[in-house]
Amino acid sequence: MKPNYFISLRVCSQEVLKNVSMLQKNISDQNSDYDPGFVDPRTAHLTLGVMGLKTCDFANVFSAMENVTTKVKEIITGDEILHFDGLANFGGEVLYLSVKKDDSYQRLLSLVEIFKTTFVQYNVPWNDEVFTPHVTVWKLSKNFSYFKKKKIKKIPKDLISISLNSYFGFQKIDQISLCSINHSKEQDGYYKVIAFIDLKTGDFTNNKLESFLKVAALAPVNIAVIKYWGKRSEELNLPLNSSISVTLHSDDLCTKTEITLGDGEDDIICLNGIEESVSKNPRLKRCLKIVREHSKKFCSKEEKSKKCKIVSTNNFPTGAGLASSASGYACLAKCLGTVYDAYIDHSIIARLGSGSACRSMYGGFVKWQKGELSDGTDSIAVQVASENHWHGLRVLILVVSSQEKSISSTEGMRRSVKSSPFLQYRVEQCVDERLKLMEEAIQSQNFELFAEITMKESNQLHAVCQDTYPPIIYMNSISHEIVQLITAFNDQKIKAAYTFDAGPNAVLFTLEEYYDELLATLLNYFPPTNSNLENYINHTSSYIHSLTGKEKMFDGIQPHSSALIKIISTKPGPGAHLVSN
């Protein structure tokens, strides 16, 4: 079983943490390519051992730790001091502070030996690797895929040579904790501590088991730039083609979900304050079924049948025509995957709820690979580039209607698959080439190419809808006015792109350098009904007033006041992530 908990000695000496930050800054100043490998100094620790635990192991773990507490009194008083003297590495892949080999060091080794024998005695799995006391400051495995892309296999000696023999400070061996790898970090930045031994007082404390039967997450909305339209399996939400999307920032639009496992009668969900039984919702049932089947965490039948209480809220109005299913199911997947410790790609859980939700599991630019297998195990989301990749990219959501869509995307897709020859042509002849070009445009930050494909994809989706029999109409006359305005705005050079999903609302992409001009133009052609700017756009009114005179004017396009309900300004952001509950 994959390690999910570990025994640690936290390094909280301010001197050491300051010196680690300075070391990392030093390396970064020499070559910032190595930045994604840095370990957050707030998590600095020495690992005494790692374990793969199920919840039913915890009674034994707590007994073993209690037993260790009585045994170690002889060798450790809590005043022993470890000195961090110089840097060392494991094969260039892990850079760490090494520990001076003195009497305290020997005592630490004895302490680990006691842990090991006691844990084995209590039938708790203990990863039996050779113990080398170390505090990791950089590691390749922090971001394998990034380093692979950059062809970085090791940290070079010259980057660290000046600090090799530095003294970093010291830490008392005063408290040993059992920490969770998968739970979100505590507010102070350190791992979630499940239990600890205070070596000074000789006390053992464990937090209640319930604390890890509870989890909370935030998840964002995403907008497709290569569209998903058409399923090869409705049961598993498997798509006819791969798609690519941009994850929007969760500060502006997101779902927050909290899940508690308990002894309730039924699985229940409370969505924006309204409670209902999960049994009425086949999508939710699918998500729960798969995590229960793949749970690594629970062993007994009673534990496996614990009921879920799901509490979910959106920071944007449900039914504002803004798709909340993507953020909703991504958030649910993050929580369920974590609380059950499910050994499947967590984007699969999200996909079973709503296809496009799998892309909200990651930040930035995300591809949903359609997969080939009939069980859908290869139909997963992967990150193409992170949210920090394209700094200047800006997003504006133009809310045209607050109505729920007339035809659900599932029904719309079903109809198109059945009746549209153009959908078949799109899947067979167009999408693969566009996927390739879109990935290139993202990697090279080629906005004109990105914008052109984005607009063509939106046009094609709605052309397929028109080709469907009976036809499906998602865009309305205001949507078409937006297309006309952006087309005029792009007359000399492509500076903005529009895209529409299964509804009339537009999402626009632009670059920082064109942002003011675009926003001024939008406010000129689509002014708010009254001058209440605060509710119209999420910018301060002083900023909006500073845009005066920056708008573009076009012949033949008339301003249309009260056409838009509101404008939401945002940018690419992170994917679904755990938060402290």
> What residues make contact with ligand PMV under the rule CB under 6 A?
224, 227-228, 243, 323, 325, 354-356, 409-410, 501-502
Residue whose CB is less far from ligand PMV, 182 or 243: 243
Min dist. Cβ of residue 325 to ligand PMV (A): 5
Query: Directed axis angle between helix 409-419 and helix 447-467, to 10°?
Result: 70
Min dist. Cβ of residue 257 to ligand PMV (A): 17
Min dist. Cβ of residue 356 to ligand PMV (A): 3
Min dist. Cβ of residue 236 to ligand PMV (A): 12
Residue whose CB is less far from ligand PMV, 176 or 284: 284
**To which residue do tokens 């698959």 refer?**
417
Q: How does strand 238-239 pair with strand 192-198?
A: unpaired
Residue whose CB is less far from ligand PMV, 383 or 409: 409
Min dist. Cβ of residue 308 to ligand PMV (A): 22
Rounded Cα–Cα distance for residues 495 and 394 (Å): 11
What is the SS3 assignment for 560?
coil
Do residues 257 and 216 make contact, with C-beta atoms less than 8 angstroms apart?
A: yes
For residue 88, give both structure tokens: 């060392």
Residue whose CB is less far from ligand PMV, 355 or 364: 355
Residue whose CB is less far from ligand PMV, 486 or 507: 507
Residue whose CB is less far from ligand PMV, 225 or 567: 225
Q: For the stretch 412-451, what's the b/e string if a residue is b when 16 or more beta carbons lie within 10 angstroms of its beta carbon? A: bbbbbbeebebbeebbeebbeebbebbbebbeeeebebbb
What is the SS3 assignment for 369?
coil
Rounded Cα–Cα distance for residues 219 and 197 (Å): 35
Instruction: Report which of 251, 255, 247 is spatially closest to residue 225, judged by C-alpha positions.
Output: 247
Min dist. Cβ of residue 258 to ligand PMV (A): 23
Residue whose CB is less far from ligand PMV, 335 or 507: 507
Residue whose CB is less far from ligand PMV, 413 or 564: 413
Kindly report each contact of residues 453-457 with a partner whose C-beta sits within 8 Å and lies 24 or more positions away, as own/partner.
453/225, 453/226, 454/225, 454/497, 454/498, 454/499, 454/509, 455/486, 455/497, 455/498, 455/499, 457/224, 457/225, 457/226, 457/227, 457/499
**To which residue do tokens 């689509």 refer?**
526
DSSP-derived secondary structure letter, 428: I
The H or E element spanning position 403 is none
Question: Residue 245 corresponds to which amino acid?
Answer: S
Min dist. Cβ of residue 502 to ligand PMV (A): 4
Min dist. Cβ of residue 509 to ligand PMV (A): 15
Do residues 577 and 247 make contact, with C-beta atoms less than 8 angstroms apart?
A: no
Min dist. Cβ of residue 372 to ligand PMV (A): 19
Residue whose CB is less far from ligand PMV, 44 or 472: 472
